[in-house]
Structure 1
């Protein structure tokens, strides 16, 4: 059956993903910014989870063109994830022209060592998708998270199909972005992917008018929904 990975950014989200049936968790912070490196305390908590957890290693919002300073932070965060007992890490880095930054990725992969490794949606910025898939394999990644270079996996289904063909069983292609109980059957009906990735989230109303007024609350904040996780898990089981 297709593996279900759910991305979460809080302790409550982690619990909801596990109870809802996630096979694996991607641990982040501030998912409304696409997911940044989670706090050390959250990593420590996730290290005791009954399912494998991979930590997003992304030191700031914005693009994936990282400086030498960013790289040093990322190397340190990988060590934090290792010390927390997490199964793996989620990595990505681009050159200014969109190609994968192989030099920085090699450093990150080397630091991760035997930990499991996902190449995240930095791959959706590359000019040549097939070349990038081959590069990910050569670097030692076991999974590629991608929307097929589109705003959603359903829109990028052509590139997802291409990636799966190029991968030829050497690496898992995991569809992400807009993947839910309604869209997953359409994607998997066309491509036999080994994994899908979803936020399985719902909008969260601000719990404090004062906090919102002072700018402490993101207007796009969402939270992992146990019901959404369970619905996606059931849709995958029905395939």
Structure 2
């Protein structure tokens, strides 16, 4: 299963053209992704593959105020009303442990539907001091999967933890490996036992515009989802032997 994170209409089209299995819909991937605008959500709802909405109200940490938590709940409702397949959420306490109470509130919103949303716990999990303990909390809360790099900035460096998480989760929850996954890193990542992977498949598009940089409209060459990169990763993933 290949999930591709995208931040614009071209990214949606590229993910579909490259035969991705699922889309994570975001804005602002440069800061790890934020909640996308309603117009992009509406466009993504027309996609022929499942779309999961990232509900993250701002950049920075994952310790939210009550007002910010209300925004995430509203985003979850928007995803359901648009007909999307799932949401991607996460919240932490000040010590980086999962904020189980806040997450439970959001999950109640996601599950209180004629068609309950699929639930992914995002990489707030990677900041947890004890991932094996937090795995059990995520399972108790009812998450379907955890997007994780194994507690390292890149999944290649978190393979030992990914292996342990896959074994501990069993068939109770899916471990979705992400961060730095491409054709080179995919085979050793799959050696951990994961069977779902998450990638941006973005490539630089043309030269950076000096005037746009001077005005602060961009910081360098624009990155865009590359359908050829999606296709190459999807093909490589599907040639791997089944678990």
1:229 aligns with 2:226: no
Instruction: State the shift of 1:238 in Å.
Output: 1.8
TM alignment of 1:62-141, pairs within 5 A: 62-113=60-111, 114-141=116-143
Partner of 2:216: 215
Q: How many residues align?
A: 236
Relative to structure 2, which stretch is displaced further, 138-147 or 209-218?
Answer: 209-218
Counterpart secondary structure, 1:144: strand
Bigger shift: residues 216-225 or 123-132? 216-225
Give the drift of 1:82.
1.2
TM-score by length of 1: 0.95
Aligned CA-pair RMSD: 1.2
The residue that corresponds to 1:12 in the other structure is 10
Alpha-carbon deviation of 1:221? 4.1
- Please report the TM-score for the alignment, with normalisation by the length of structure 2: 0.94
Give the distance between the partners of 1:8 and 1:198, measured in 2 at CA.
Answer: 9
Q: Distance in 2 between matches of 1:65 and 1:124?
A: 14
Counterpart position of 2:158: 156
Superposed displacement of residue 218, structure 1: 3.6
CA separation in 1, counterparts of 2:221 and 2:87?
26
Name the CA distance, whole Å, in 1 between partners of 2:214 and 2:70: 36
In the alignment, what sits opposite 2:25? 27
SS in structure 1 at match of 2:156? coil
Distance 1:220 1:148 in 2: 29
Distance 2:170 2:13 in 1: 34
Q: CA deviation at 1:83?
A: 1.4
CA distance 1:206–1:111, change in 2 (3 Å): farther
- Paired with 1:50 and 1:83, the residues of 2 have a C-alpha distance of 17
CA distance in 2: counterparts of 1:48 and 1:96, whole angstroms = 38
Unaligned runs of 5+ in 2: none
- SS of structure 1 residue aligned to 2:120: strand
What are the ranges of 5 or more consecutive residues in structure 1 without an aligned counterpart? none
Q: Secondary structure at the match of 2:71?
A: helix
